[in-house]
């Protein structure tokens, strides 16, 4: 009997200290201390014992009962404390600042294109996407660049067939659009262009152009000047001054190469402008009468101007980048800086 009581007690204690939750504690309480439990069964056999054993066995059972009760209480408290800790860890502070998800942003070249688009739209330009693969007529001949013309060498070309090429400039859409439209019109064409060139810091074999041209009655060089001031100030800031220098492209006459005062030093000279205070920005001019004729527009009645931005070039200037190739690769460590 003594051994039975000790074994019951030991079994109970070992089960209780391994109990993981309150349900298990409650179940063990019933199994050992319940009205029909293991200790109650032992107690019920006391009357059959010899009289001199009764008191001693009764005491042993009471001790076992006390030990089981104490262990149930301490283990119960332990489980409760652990649960409270878990709840504390799971507690949600709704006022805590959130974790900002990592989101991308626009490539600097795309940003320039969007800024130009917005500025073009304010001036009433129609933004048009045009084919990247064009024929020789639209890319060269219609723009006054006949075969063997030396200016073809300036635009080394990837030829697909003898007559088809990926456009070397967005001017390839000038005659293509002009022959479909009735003046007056103002058109802007953003897009990729392709040149058979070796990549270096200032040359790429694919980069962006943003062409603008307008045709109507009495359009003059002064209109071109006003337009360029408005567009460039929208992108590079209101401080910019422009310098027009005579130049040559076969499809415009007169032709002007345009430099702008450096937006970083306001023309005083800094590392971004090589100390000169000026940066070359774009080419422009009045549309050559022959180009208008090629588009079946009468140059005696109508005139127009054309110009072409390089969004890659403008992004280099605006963000002080000295290697245009970084805009075309997907290196996030570089692109995240802008």
Task: Determine if 188 is a binding residue for Zn ion (CB under 5 A).
Answer: no
Q: In angstroms, rounded to a whole number, what is the distance separating the alpha carbons of residues 275 and 160?
A: 42
Among the listed ranges 28-36, 126-134, 197-205, 256-264, the one in contact with Zn ion (CB under 5 A) is: 256-264
* Residues between 48 and 77 with contacts to Zn ion, criterion CB under 5 A: none
Among the listed ranges 16-24, 71-79, 159-167, 268-276, the one in contact with Zn ion (CB under 5 A) is: 268-276
State the distance between the two ends of the chain, measured CA to CA, in whole angstroms.
85
Contacting Zn ion (CB under 5 A), which of 272, 308, 314, 315? 272
Coil, strand or helix: which one is 48? helix
Task: Determine if 318 is a binding residue for Zn ion (CB under 5 A).
Answer: no
Cβ neighbourhood burial of 1 (10 Å; 0-12, 13-18, 19+): middle
- In the complex, the smallest distance separating the C-beta of residue 265 from Zn ion, rounded to whole angstroms, is 3
Cα dihedral 6/12/18/20 (nearest 10) = -170
The count of residues interacting with Zn ion (CB under 5 A) is 6
- In the complex, the smallest distance separating the C-beta of residue 313 from Zn ion, rounded to whole angstroms, is 15
Task: Determine if 264 is a binding residue for Zn ion (CB under 5 A).
Answer: yes
Max CA distance (Å), the chain: 139
- In the complex, the smallest distance separating the C-beta of residue 226 from Zn ion, rounded to whole angstroms, is 25
Task: Determine if 270 is a binding residue for Zn ion (CB under 5 A).
Answer: yes
Q: Would you state the structure tokens that stand for residue 195, as one six-digit string? A: 């040149």
Task: Determine if 167 is a binding residue for Zn ion (CB under 5 A).
Answer: no
Judged by beta carbon, residue 273 or residue 286, the one nearer Zn ion is: 273
Contacting Zn ion (CB under 5 A), which of 68, 219, 273, 308? 273
Q: In angstroms, rounded to a whole number, what is the distance separating the alpha carbons of residues 256 and 272?
A: 23
Core vs surface per residue 238-265: b (16+ CB within 10 A) or e: eebebebeeeebbbbeebbbbbbbbbbe
Among the listed ranges 105-113, 269-277, 284-292, 325-333, the one in contact with Zn ion (CB under 5 A) is: 269-277
Task: Determine if 265 is a binding residue for Zn ion (CB under 5 A).
Answer: yes
Judged by beta carbon, residue 149 or residue 233, the one nearer Zn ion is: 233
Task: Determine if 262 is a binding residue for Zn ion (CB under 5 A).
Answer: yes
Q: In angstroms, rounded to a whole number, what is the distance separating the alpha carbons of residues 204 and 157?
A: 13
Q: In angstroms, rounded to a whole number, what is the distance separating the alpha carbons of residues 180 and 221?
A: 24
Interface ranges with Zn ion (CB under 5 A): 262, 264-265, 270, 272-273
């Amino acid at each position: 009997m003594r051994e039975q009581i000790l074994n019951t007690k030991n079994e109970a204690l070992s089960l209780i200290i391994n109990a993981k939750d309150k349900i298990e504690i409650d179940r063990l309480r019933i199994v050992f201390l319940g009205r029909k439990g293991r200790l109650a069964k032992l107690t019920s056999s006391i009357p059959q014992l010899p009289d001199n054993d009764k008191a001693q066995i009764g005491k042993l059972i009471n001790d076992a009962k006390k030990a089981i009760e104490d262990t149930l209480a301490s283990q119960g408290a332990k489980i409760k404390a652990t649960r409270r800790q878990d709840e504390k860890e799971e507690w949600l502070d709704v006022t805590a600042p959130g974790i900002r998800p990592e989101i991308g942003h626009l490539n600097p070249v795309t940003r320039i294109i969007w800024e130009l688009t917005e500025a073009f739209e304010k001036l009433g330009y129609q933004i048009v996407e045009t084919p990247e693969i064009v024929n020789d007529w639209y890319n060269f001949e219609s723009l006054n660049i006949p075969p063997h013309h030396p200016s073809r060498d300036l635009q080394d070309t990837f030829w697909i067939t003898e007559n088809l090429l990926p456009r070397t400039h967005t001017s390839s859409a000038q005659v293509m659009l002009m022959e479909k439209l009735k003046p007056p019109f103002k058109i802007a064409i953003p897009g990729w262009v392709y040149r058979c060139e070796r990549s270096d810091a200032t040359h790429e074999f694919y980069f962006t152009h943003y062409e603008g041209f307008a045709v109507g009655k009495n359009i003059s060089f002064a209109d071109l000047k006003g337009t360029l001031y408005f567009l460039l100030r929208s992108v590079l800031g209101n401080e910019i001054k422009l310098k027009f220098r005579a130049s040559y492209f076969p499809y415009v006459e007169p032709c002007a190469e345009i430099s702008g005062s450096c937006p970083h030093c306001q023309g005083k000279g800094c590392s971004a402008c090589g100390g000169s205070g000026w940066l070359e920005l774009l080419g422009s001019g009045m549309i050559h009468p022959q180009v208008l004729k090629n588009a079946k527009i009468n140059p005696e009645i109508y005139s127009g101007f054309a110009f072409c931005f390089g969004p890659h070039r403008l992004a280099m200037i605006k963000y002080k980048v000295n290697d245009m190739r970084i805009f075309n690769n997907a290196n996030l460590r570089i692109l995240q800086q802008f």
